[in-house]
Structure 1
């Protein structure tokens, strides 16, 4: 039986209303996404709404945290220890370096491989890569005990030989790391920070990460931090020689608690979005895709990426920004894992809505990274003798951060503490010549502080 005309008309009107509301439903921005796993990911963008038909600066944060996972067995380590034996190491410093090296050897076992390279003017393979079983351990310790200082500082040659040893023995199960120490300036082989960073980056592309340790007050901190960043490892400033053994223990302890290997982030930029900057990590680009190699994650380790982007919107309301994939090999399960996040803004003609949609969490991270960058820039000016310029950079950043805190209600108490750190840095710059021991210490402390803030927001 046919429905009554009135009922049929009502049905058509109802369906039309459903279709109409679906067609004209306002899209919602996605300003934050969380993906869980052994290494979790939290991605955010600075603005949920963007001006329509305009180009706007947008920031994105990618916060990655490794959980503490109970492992049936830890991953085997494949390490090369590269020791500076140049003439400047003479005396107690070299004895402490040898003692620290012995401690590292004693922390390894038959699951692990170790090679030892020493460098002065020349480079020597003191111990070719070998399994650290009891018999080999005794041989390695004897070699370390017999090391002698001589020559200049062929840092690049030492690194390249250590890299070759690790690369020759890496496999799908090993944690592959070169540990490079120095107390001076590279003056043989490749000597520029750019050139050495490029070597570290090339090593990382082969699957071998790099940690650097600078000790004393006379090494080139810019060079050592650059190599650690481009090698996706760690950087340590070791002022006191007797602290070196504890630093070695910290490094090996972290490697032994690795929960994820071969980690990398792939960031795909949406149409109309361009990369203006990526802070704290080395990366490579291809078309609209950015790859950030991250090497390993040990338990409870965090790594944070800040992206500065330019986003061009159109009359379309939905404005995709980035698609993010974090890939890694899970040590516990033995499986390859991919976690994903997608961030989307919405374009609008409502200027007030744009202002109201600002994500204060991202603004806070921007301030942290800008503080880190200002410290690094100020230390460079200080080293060049530009005391007033160095102080001005720090004070301008303090003012900028205070204004941002007031505008966006950033009430994190850590900002107060860091503001005091910056105030003290300004005072210290004016009190001590850059070439003095106090000045060298100040530069290295603040360079190390800048490095750790840019790598991990939890270190702020």
Structure 2
């Protein structure tokens, strides 16, 4: 490939063209023929959207057979911790929500209008962070049950870290902040440029384990009969065994009504009696989630619980609210009110028929985790994981703020959106509550009473130990010649290890190249990998949607397009790992044309969805 061709493909890859042309070499990649000769398109490649898939939210998957429950719930719009729309799934992971991918050539035209004006760069935006992993839980369960052949594992192996930046957390810090531009020198004419902002938390745990106040709210409706109820009892007993003698525990069960089976109090000498009560639980009746939550929150508010205790309500249900309060808004408001009083709420949806949007909303407003449990045998590990996560956040009340210079446009925030006034107010309520709880629990001075305006703001109630998160922005820069600042980035959080407030500031500066070739030569391979990782993940998710809708040809075309782009990226950016991902897409594309085995539509959709999550994580 000649120098002009390399320059063009680097701009195309980083600018986000879905249909990729290589000038000089005369190569184009599209859905019909990845190696078919073609000239570069007339439009400037640097102005094209990345993968076409991030311009709107995905549509909800069609109502397919039960094994596609995970994919349907992942595609359904649900609120994340900041109240925004995202994708909720196993283990509480919330990843960017891909949109329906346009046909080849449509994306650039569709995205041109909003990019010309830019987005409002001020206000609160939805965050996509959810702690830890867990995104392979439903898939592994399907393998264990024989729904997915074991050799499908290599097609969904966890490759997300391949696209993530390497960050060292300075000694004595709970979080590290890193910002990277896709290239160190932008074209003299300006134009679109991607910016990655990444966070990494320390592996060091807070010195003292806090007192736990755990309140299990358990669905015992008729649908829990049999194996689900047996596994729920096992999980509840295991949960009690994980608690220290001084920790508090209560148990509320609900069906058509709700009952307090075990009053709040230290586990201590009650451990055997608690487990005996759990063994006696029987199922039957409707699903009154509201009354169950109300009793659980009342137990968490009882006197005698030590100051500074970590209070958490764990809600497990396999159904939909059909008795008492059934409004999602009112039920999630209960969780928000409880969080203002110092109680977090985590939710666990079991099986194929639970209300995923409701469970996610309750967890979002309750500042807890949300888990999809495909099988009853996943209940105990999920409860244990969530209990550990309530213990180990190293930073709370985390706010990332990005202030752009007036002549810099915001073109896209991948996987996020600007929150409306109501949603922003809810986030502000959670922030104030987290500030107060930190002062009470960790002795860290309050510093969030005043709500400073300006810039894009992303709020994370708690950041787990030894975890990471990255965000990707697309900005529009003006023409220039001299190095300059384009944004100021501020990270504020409560450091639970050092017990102090922290404010880190990082100016974001760019230098201008002497020409396009000079700019293309300054590409940062790490950011290029991140861009390709997001794009590949969105393509895989959209292919899963097409399989669920019965359009195998469209799914294969999407995978072929992305496969070709990854091949070109491997050559242009010198990244051989792209070839491995391209080979994976080629194998998945081959299964799309098969009738059985991994080509079964139910199996294939799960494979594609899980592979998508490994990229977007």
TM, length-normalised to structure 2:
0.55
Work out the CA distance in 2 between the residues paired with 1:275 and 1:205. Answer: 35
Equivalent pair of 1:51/1:354 in contact (CA under 8 Å): yes
Q: Are positions 1:352 and 2:528 aligned together?
A: no
Structure 1 position 292 matched with structure 2 position 458:
yes
Q: Hey, what does 2:183 align to over in structure 1?
A: 47
**For the structure 1 residues 76 and 385, does the alpha-carbon distance in structure 2 shift closer, same or farther, using more than 3 Å as the test?**
farther
Q: Distance in 1 between matches of 2:362 and 2:567?
A: 33
Distance 1:270 1:132, change over 3 A: farther
Match runs of 1:12-161 below 5 Å: 36=170, 37-52=173-188, 54-69=190-205, 71-109=206-244, 112-122=247-257, 126-127=261-262, 130-135=264-269, 137=271, 140-153=274-287
Change (3 A) 1:119 1:133: closer
Cα deviations by residue, 1:231-285 (Å, 9 ceiling, x for unpaired): 6654544344223222322222333333333333333333323262243799787
Q: Distance in 1 between matches of 2:613 and 2:333?
A: 18
Q: For the structure 1 residues 161 and 110, does the alpha-carbon distance in structure 2 shift closer, same or farther, using more than 3 Å as the test? A: same
For residue 291 of structure 1, give the secondary structure of its aligned residue in structure 2: strand
Of 40-49 and 278-287, the range deviating more from structure 2: 278-287
Q: What CA distance in whole angstroms lies between the structure 2 residues aligned with 1:163 and 1:281? A: 32
Gaps of at least 5 residues in structure 2 are 1-164, 425-451
> 1:94 and 1:295, CA in 2 relative to 1: closer, same or farther beyond 3 A?
same
CA contact (8 A) 1:218 1:440 kept: no
* Separation (CA, whole Å) in 1 of partners of 2:399 and 2:309: 17
Between 1 and 2, higher relative CO (CA 8 Å, sep ≥ 6) is seen in 2
Residue number in structure 2 paired with 1:14: none
**Cα distance change of structure 1 residues 59 and 330 upon mapping to structure 2, 3 Å threshold:** closer
Deviates more, 1:402-411 or 1:90-99: 402-411
Report the count of equivalent residues.
Answer: 418
1:226 deviation in Å?
7.3
SS in 1 for 2:540: helix
Which among 474, 485, 488 is matched to residue 323 of structure 1?
A: 488
Tell me, in whole angstroms, the C-alpha distance in 2 between the residues paired with 1:321 and 1:113.
51
More off after superposition, 171-180 vs 291-300:
171-180
Query: Matched residues in 2 for 1:64 and 1:122: separation?
Result: 44
- Residues 231, 443 of structure 1: alpha-carbon distance in 2 compared, 3 angstrom cutoff: farther
Report what 2:574 is aligned to: 409
Aligned match of 2:501 in 336, 356, 360? 336
After TM superposition, give the deviation of residue 425 of structure 1 in Å.
Answer: 7.8
Unaligned runs of 5+ in 1: 1-30, 456-460
Deviation at 1:91, TM superposition (A): 0.3
Change (3 A) 1:60 1:212: same
State the match for 1:304 in structure 2: 469
Match of 2:403 among 244, 252, 268: 268
Partner of 1:9: none
Asked if 2 retains the 8 angstrom alpha-carbon contact of 1:153 and 1:186, the reply is yes
Of 273-282 and 389-398, more deviation after overlay is shown by 273-282
Three-state SS of the structure 2 residue aligned to 1:329 is strand
Q: Which residue is 1:241 aligned to?
A: 376
1:352 is displaced (CA, Å) by 1.8
Give the aligned partner of residue 529 of structure 2: 364
Q: CA RMSD in A?
A: 4.5
- 1:442 Cα shift? 5.8
CA change 1:420–1:199 in 2 (3 A) is: farther
Alpha-carbon distance in 2 for matches of 1:137, 1:309:
54
SS of corresponding position for 1:43: strand
> In the alignment, which of 239, 251, 254 is matched to residue 389 of structure 2?
254
* CA offsets 1:16-70 (integer angstroms, 9 cap, x no match): xxxxxxxxxxxxxxx999763222232222232333454414232313233234x
The one of 449, 454, 460 aligned to 2:616: 454
Tell me how far apart the structure 1 counterparts of residues 357 and 587 of structure 2 sit (CA, whole Å). Answer: 23
1:73 alignment partner, SS class: coil
**Is the partner of 1:279 in helix, strand or coil?**
coil
What whole-Å deviation, never above 9, does each CA across 1:92-130 have from its counterpart, x for those lacking one?
A: 1111012112211221225544444444455555556x3
Q: Which residue of 1 aligns with 2:587?
A: 423
Separation (CA, whole Å) in 2 of partners of 1:282 and 1:115: 39
- C-alpha separation between the residues in 2 aligned to 1:165 and 1:347? 61
